[in-house]
Amino acid sequence: MKYIHIIKFLMTHDLTFLKECWLIEVTNNKKVSTYRLFKSFMKSQYPQKRYLFWWRLANEMHMYGNHKQRGVAKHIQKMLITKFAIEIELGAKIGKNLKIGHPYAITISRHSVIGENCFILQNATVGGANKPIEIKIGDNVDIGAGSIILGGKITIGNNVKIGAMSFVNKDIPDNCTVYTQKTNTIIQNN
């Protein structure tokens, strides 16, 4: 029964953005046809491609579908969280060419707006601690493993690199590299 709602959504809505995302993220810029998309999806050894295929569909259904289609989107989201341990909340606005390096333990709030060509590694969190939550991330941003972007209103510019295990709670201008300085203390036991 759920597949009927997916098929109805795919047949009745403008799929321009969804197809553009699938073209880049699932088929590696090869022409999108139902056959090629299905073949790429079935042959893919990469869990991030499978995740992005289903998340993009669920997010579009959540944002533009009817009540039943939004219910199916929530069901897909629960399946994705269970299978991949990734929670990109439905309603997040993410531009084309999202890349997930190691697709595990990533959390992104629905109050996030992320530009195109974003690269996110494992254990990254983009969320909010203060209300109102509004996190804007520009184009061509790399977010390192274990990084946390947390706060109320934060704007991260274009062409920004955020180093591994960094904590970001302030605006970052364009064309910057940001990292949290870490030190190790080694105490030798005798």
Q: What's the rounded Cα separation, in Å, for the pair 148 and 28?
A: 29
**Domain spans of the chain, in order of start:** 1-84, 85-190
Residue 180 CA to chain centroid, in angstroms?
Answer: 23
Long-range contacts of 10-18 (CB under 8 A, 24+ apart): 13/60, 13/64, 13/65, 15/60, 17/60, 17/96, 18/56, 18/57, 18/60
Q: What's the rounded Cα separation, in Å, for the pair 153 and 96?
A: 23
pLDDT of residue 132: 76
pLDDT of residue 35: 60
pLDDT of residue 163: 95
pLDDT of residue 49: 85
Both tokens of 115, joined, read: 């530009």
Residues pairing with 134 in the sheet: 153
pLDDT of residue 104: 82
pLDDT of residue 47: 81
Both tokens of 134, joined, read: 């509004």
Q: Please identify every stretch of the chain with a pLDDT value under 70, giving residue numbers as ranges.
A: 1, 29-45, 129-130
Q: Does domain 85-190 sit in CATH 2.160.10.10?
A: yes
The C-alpha R_g of the chain, in whole angstroms, comes to: 18
Burial 96-109 (b: 16+ CB within 10 A, else e): bbbebbebeebbbb
pLDDT of residue 24: 86
